[in-house]
Amino acid sequence: MVMRLNSGLILAIDAGNTRVKWGLFNSSGNMLENGACLNADLAITRLPEANHIVISNVAGAAMQAQLISLLPKNTPIQWTTAQLHACGVSNRYDQAETLGTDRWAALIAAWHIKQAPCVVVNAGTAVTIDALSVKSLSNDGDGQAEFIGGLILPGLNLMQQSLGLATAQLPKLDLVQNSTTQTQANIFAKNTTDAIYAGALHAISGTIMLMARELNVQCKQAPFIVISGGNAPIIYQQIMKERLFMEMSQQAVIVDNLVLHGLFLQLKVL
């Protein structure tokens, strides 16, 4: 099916585990406005009107039903799924369709932006760290990318919270005050709260840099590290401090709303 997007507005919706993010695009791919809300607040959130709607939903059937009930009945909706090939990216997951639709959209957006090997990081409730390799490069410079695999970790907040819930003597942290404001992660932490926070942040940033190192070996060039999501600034700051990987650290960038941009790109080719 070819969807004509020469005119009209496109609403991209990324329904995640904790929040629903949305962006309104024109047909040229410029984001005109965007917003986010907690999943529990979706019913009282105003979503803008559009001519086409594209949705990534990893929050389950109940979220899908809620979105259907809230969105206009006469507006075409495309529910995305991961595919073997889309927008210049090949999917090497064992079962392509089981890759999270948010991860797939982020990979497509990262390739569209960088056209180079990338470690693509979505830092939300969970942290996904995915490797995008260059498969081939034609004479005119148009490359083809491969998603060659990735990792899933508990997110910065979830990692800390799990320690408080599963242990008797470790503190149950106030994550709102801790993870969103604290930026220092001293590896020689002097109190338990800082030790939990630093352990979680170093675990995430260290895994990202390990992925970058392995992709550097495979592609024979330092990959970009493309980071998006609510905890992207904290993780980015930590990566920039990783002195052992200075060359690759300098390749790190924050790209806001990466999944939403990937959803727009997918809708264009449907």
Q: What is the CATH number of the domain that holds 189?
A: 3.30.420.40
Could you give the 3-state DSSP secondary structure of residue 133? strand
Residues 131 and 209 in one domain: yes
Question: Is 140 within a domain?
Answer: yes
Read off the pLDDT of each residue in 9-23 and give the average, rounded to a whole number: 96
Say how many domains are in the chain: 2
CB atoms inside a 10 Å sphere around CB 72: 12
Residues 142 and 248 in one domain: yes
Residues 71 and 118 in one domain: no
The reply to whether 102 belongs to the active site is yes
Average confidence score pLDDT of the chain: 87
Question: Is 187 within a domain?
Answer: yes
- Surface-to-core class of residue 138, CB atoms within 10 Å of its CB (0-12 exposed, 13-18 middle, 19+ buried): exposed
Number of helices (H) and strands (E) in the chain: give both, helices first. Answer: 8, 12
- Three-state secondary structure readout of 197-226: HHHHHHHHHHHHHHHHHHHHHHHCCCCEEE
Question: Is 190 within a domain?
Answer: yes
Residues 202 and 90 in one domain: yes
* pTM for the full predicted model: 0.89
Residues 151 and 63 in one domain: no
Residue span of the structural domain in which 28 resides: 9-79
Residues 72 and 175 in one domain: no
The answer to whether residue 81 scores a pLDDT higher than 50 is: yes
Question: Is 138 within a domain?
Answer: yes
* Annotated active-site residue in 14, 102, 140, 256: 102
The answer to whether residue 176 scores a pLDDT higher than 80 is: no
Question: Is 231 within a domain?
Answer: yes
Could you tell me the pLDDT band of residue 150, with boundaries at 50, 70 and 90?
A: very high
Residues 23 and 138 in one domain: no
Burial per residue of 164-194, b for 16 or more beta-carbon CB atoms within 10 angstroms, e otherwise: eeeeeeeeebeeeebbeeeeebeeebeeeeb
Residues 67 and 128 in one domain: no
Residues 145 and 46 in one domain: no
* Residue 139: per-residue pLDDT: 46
In 3D space, the residue among 53, 74, 76, 57 whose CA is nearest the CA of residue 65 turns out to be 57
* Residue 141: per-residue pLDDT: 45
